[in-house]
Structure 1
Amino acid sequence: MFDHIGLRVHDLEAGARFYTAALAPLGCVPGSRGADYAGFGPPDAPGLWLHAAGVPARTGVHVCFRAASREAVDRFHAAGLAAGGRDNGKPGPRPDYGPTYYAAFVRDPDGNNVEAVCLR
């Protein structure tokens, strides 16, 4: 669980499009927006902030969002790929991580590893 996280992105518009689509199945929406930042999360509490890096961003951050159901994990993966992300782990059980761990992984346009997990 995290309160918020900030990611540096090379292209703020591409990042915003990706996260708007990929996080919609998890109930997250675009929030505060400025010339060099964009916030996403539940309507009353953005937890993900994108910050324009201005140059190719150094990446490698892993972000995991909790999903309400396995179906939401599946929809997150499909939406992320449709929005330009790259598959980094198809939806499915991950018994090495825990008995009920069901997750999917997508690389965003800047190469960050974005995960959605359902623990039910």
Structure 2
Amino acid sequence: MKFSIGSKKVKLTAYLLEILEPFSIEDGEWTMKIRLKDETCDDLKCFVSHQLLCNLIGMTPDEAMAIRKSSNFAKRKEGTERIKTLDVQLQRLDLIFEIEFFAANRATPRIIGLETLSDALQLC
């Protein structure tokens, strides 16, 4: 990417090493930063895109805030469980991450897509 203009999307089979910045809401969007490892790199720091996080947990930050403020205990418990499953989903060992790298590596790469190996190979 050193001599590229714009961004380049790449699919990598990798796994989560650690969560650098935990899942939270910042400026009205979900945000999270993780560190990945694959066969070529031991330390790939990436942001997880807001849209991908919305898809993984099935709710927007506004919906999450409404659930948090709800007096319905079952609704609050459901929201909490969705968020807890995010860590479990990201720790799977059969994931293919679609990552957007930016020109000259000046911006932190961003994970914009995620699928399992069986989905990619259309086994299920």
Q: TM-score normalised to the size of structure 2?
A: 0.23
Q: Which of 1 and 2 has higher RCO (CA within 8 Å, sep 6+)?
A: 2
Larger radius of gyration: 2
Higher helix content, 1 or 2: 2
TM-score (norm 1): 0.23
